[in-house]
Amino acid sequence: MCGHEAAGSYDLHNHSVFSDGSCSVGELIDRARAVGLAGMAVTDHDSLTQLSAVRSQARAAGFPVLAGVEVSAACSATGRKVHILGFGLEATRDGSGPLERLVAPTLNARAANTLWQAWTIVRTLRGGEDPREALALACVADAELCDPSFSLDALERVCSDGTAPYKQHIMEALTHLPYTDPSYQRIYRSIFKGSGIAVRDIGYPEATDAVRAIREQGGVPVLAHPAQMDSWSLVPELVDAGLLGIEVYHPDHGPDDEERSRGLASEYGLFMTGGSDYHGRNGAPSGVGVRCIAPDEAGGAVAELFEREAELG
């Protein structure tokens, strides 16, 4: 597990209301301050439009924050999903940057898919005189805990600050439960997994293309949680595409995973990062700073990211 105390360390992987987190940027900063972090990153999914707002709020709060992005990608050869963190980026006025053009289809597809999933649940709720009975007949677990008034308007209220609706927003509007509640997990699996009523996924860009696009837009790409998605075998190919860092410390990494990540960092000259992947109510990690990396282990590359951040708009 993470061998570093939060105090004086960096947590370089967190999510806000701009994507699928439940906390505002200000709330994330408050939590980072409370545990004594030296700095943090906000890495919302597949969008650069929020970067200026993140930077503005961080500067107003007077706390070191890297405004980053987490790119959802995949490897067509293995069929596995791959996540790439990007730092040191700026959005263009017209969204014409290489990375912006790469992530825009993902964000649009996700929004359309989530709305379809939400509408499928709404139609199921309307399928009988008793909405909860209709959900139960559709094999939705713990249907009695679902809100019978769930609607697209309710979903919109939950995700109003974000760049797109996510399944987490559906779950918040439908159950009002935190991710860690066992009933939340049962309901989620029964709707979105297996033969659930709202099972449908979207396509993702190639991970190597994501790395290249981050570099082409002037950013710094880092492989996120390789153990979570079994991305180990892709490291050489990603390095050839321009990968510069690897996430060593993550809630889904055990000691062996951390050691393997450190070995790859040494072998391929990658700098190391660590982060909590905190989503507030919408995820399992209990708080900002539960996984982090100390400045001496992060090294000069991370220090340079924080120095450069002050120059970005």
Q: What is the mean pLDDT of residues 177-195?
A: 98
Residue 198 in domain: no
Average pLDDT rounded to a whole number, residues 181-198? 98
- What pLDDT does residue 128 have? 84
Residues 164 and 26 in one domain: no
Paired tokens of 115: 């709305």
181 by Cβ neighbours in 10 Å (0-12 / 13-18 / 19+) ranks as: middle
Q: What is the pLDDT of residues 85-119, one digit of tens each?
A: 999 999 999 999 999 999 999 999 999 999 999 99
Mean pLDDT of the chain: 97
Is residue 275 helix, strand or coil? coil
Query: Hey, which residues does 39 pair with through a beta bridge?
Result: 10
Element (H, E) at 96: none
Report the candidate in 170, 190, 188, 207 with the shortest Cα–Cα distance to residue 79: 207
Domain edge (last residue) among 145, 167, 192: 192
pLDDT computed for residue 3 by the predictor: 52
Split at pLDDT 50, 70, 90, the class of 208 is: very high
How many distinct structural domains can be found in the chain? 2
Q: Which two tokens stand for residue 290?
A: 């539960």
Contact status, residue 309 vs residue 64, Cβ threshold 8 Å = yes
- Shared-domain flag, residues 75 and 216: yes
* 223 and 266 assigned to the same domain: yes
The whole domain housing 169 covers: 106-192
Q: Does residue 295 register a pLDDT over 90?
A: yes
Do residues 11 and 275 make contact, with C-beta atoms less than 8 angstroms apart? yes
Q: In terms of domains, do 258 and 184 share one?
A: no
pLDDT at position 64 over 60 = yes
Q: What is the tens place of the pLDDT at every residue in 238-290?
A: 999 999 999 999 999 999 999 999 999 999 999 999 999 999 999 999 999 99
Task: Give yes or no for residue 307 having a pLDDT over 80.
Answer: yes
Q: Which of 38, 36, 32, 42 is nearest to 12 (CA)?
A: 42
The yes-or-no verdict on residue 1 having pLDDT over 50 is: no
pTM (2 d.p.): 0.96
Beta strands at 65-75 and 39-45: parallel, antiparallel or unpaired: parallel
SS3 at position 45: strand
Q: Are 109 and 202 in contact (CB under 8 A)?
A: yes
Please name which of 43, 6, 47, 42 lies closest in space to residue 25, comparing C-alpha atoms: 42
pLDDT of residue 65: 98
